[in-house]
């Protein structure tokens, strides 16, 4: 991926991204249960219900991770998402990119595990031409 860097994106640092993941999983679980009921509510909730709910609710953009032993660069292709709509949460082990493009569109939600721990205080994020680039 080759994207030009431009606007700075705020980075919220946390110890773990677990809270963000749990919140999204709760939404998926609720929708999976609704799908289960829509198909008659017989037998049990299955993996297909979960996967359908995930596809309905989330969009997971393409990601490229590069580690040259001096720094890690993560590039996420967000397309037409506006920079103010992007939320970036970074922990020493991973990051979460989220965005709500519109109330009716699927939520952008992508987790990325880093190849090694990073110093979150040195992490910088920029956004341009539909790409979010985190450097740490």
Complete DSSP assignment for 54-111: HHHHEE---EEEEE-SS-EEEEEE-TT--GGGEEEEE-SSEEEEEEES-TTSPEEEEE
CB 132 within 8 A of CB 76: yes
Is pLDDT at 118 greater than 60 in this prediction? yes
The share of the chain scoring above pLDDT 90, in percent, equals: 68
Tell me, yes or no, if the pTM score tops 0.75. Answer: yes
Count of alpha carbons within 13 Å of 56, Cβ hemisphere only? 15
Higher-confidence position of 40 and 111: 111
Q: Which domains does the chain have, with CATH numbers?
A: 7-135 (2.60.40.790)
Q: Report the alpha-carbon distance of residue 126 to residue 2 in Å, rounded.
A: 13
pLDDT for res 5: 44
């Amino acid at each position: 991926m080759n994207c030009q860097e431009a606007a700075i994106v705020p980075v919220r640092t946390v110890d773990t991204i677990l809270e963000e993941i749990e919140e999204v999983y709760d939404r998926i679980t609720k929708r999976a249960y609704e799908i289960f009921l829509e198909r008659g509510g017989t037998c049990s909730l299955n993996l297909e219900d979960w996967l359908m709910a995930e596809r309905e609710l989330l969009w997971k953009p393409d990601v490229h991770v590069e580690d040259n032993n001096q720094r890690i660069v993560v590039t996420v292709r967000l397309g037409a998402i506006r920079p103010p709509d992007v939320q970036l949460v970074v922990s020493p082990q991973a990051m979460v990119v989220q965005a709500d493009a519109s109330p009716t569109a699927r939520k952008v939600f992508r987790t990325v595990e880093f190849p090694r721990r990073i110093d979150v205080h040195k992490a910088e994020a920029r956004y341009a031409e539909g790409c979010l680039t985190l450097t740490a």
